[in-house]
Amino acid sequence: HMPVVAIVGRPNVGKSTLVNRILGRREAVVEDIPGVTRDRVSYAASWSGRRFTVVDTGGWEPDAKGLQQAVAAQAELAMRTADAIVVVVDATVGATATDEAVARVLRRSKTPVILCANKVDSERLESDTASLWSLGLGEPYPVSAAHGRGAGDLLDIILDKL
């Protein structure tokens, strides 16, 4: 089957923006207000001549109770159904309690996990990523999904794990 890459993480970290960056077109719904993305949406993608499926996750209401459980459940589902998992964190905010809840799930993943430190829009912001080692998910890869910075390197790393 076509390898599946699941993009997980709490609302508003830039998952859908990253999906659009991977696709090279705008299809995933990007919103300043979290909760707009449908639950799980799959797209056909390719990089370096390799084809794969990318799954955007989300679907939480802004006022949803149990947000941490909902995000953790998506991570659990990704562990069962994906061939690689990209967990996105907002490097300008740092690790939140929800990020830590997701990391707790993903630390026991047998599926490869890639930690994407998003919103690193300039070199100056790269130092913000160091604190994300605390999530216990290995090296945080700095990316600006919005501007494309680091996206090619991230895709190379994702494909390495497939």
Binding partner of 74, given Mg ion, ligand GDP, none, CB within 5-8 angstroms per partner class? none
Residue 63's binding partner, choosing from Mg ion, ligand GDP, none, with beta-carbon cut-off 5 to 8 A by kind? none
**Residue from 22, 37, 85, 155 in contact with ligand GDP (CB under 6 A):** 37
Q: Residue 20 in contact with residue 28, Cβ under 8 Å?
A: yes
Give how far the C-alpha of residue 57 lies from the chain's centroid of Cα atoms, to the nearest Å: 9
Residue 66, Ramachandran bin (φ over 0: left; ψ between -120 and 50: alpha; else beta): left
Determine the interface stretch with Mg ion among 42-50, 54-62, 65-73, 127-135 (rule: CB under 5 A): 54-62
Q: Which does 150 bind (CB under 5 to 8 A by kind): ligand GDP, Mg ion, none?
A: none
Answer yes or no whether residue 98 interacts with ligand GDP by CB under 6 A. Answer: no
List the single partner that 12 binds among Mg ion, ligand GDP, none, CB under 5 to 8 Å by kind. Answer: ligand GDP
Min separation Cβ 71 and Mg ion, Å:
12
Token representation of residue 46: 């390719």
Residues in region 103-122 near ligand GDP by CB under 6 A: 118-119, 121
**How far does Cα 126 stand from its chain's mean position?**
18
Minimum CB distance to Mg ion, residue 74 (Å): 11
Q: Which stretch binds Mg ion (CB under 5 A): 8-16, 68-76, 77-85, 150-158?
A: 8-16
Contact residues: ligand GDP, CB under 6 A: 9, 11-17, 30-32, 34, 37, 58, 118-119, 121, 144-146
Q: Which residue ranges make up the site for Mg ion (CB under 5 A)?
A: 15-16, 37, 58
Binding residues: 9-16, 56-60, 118-121
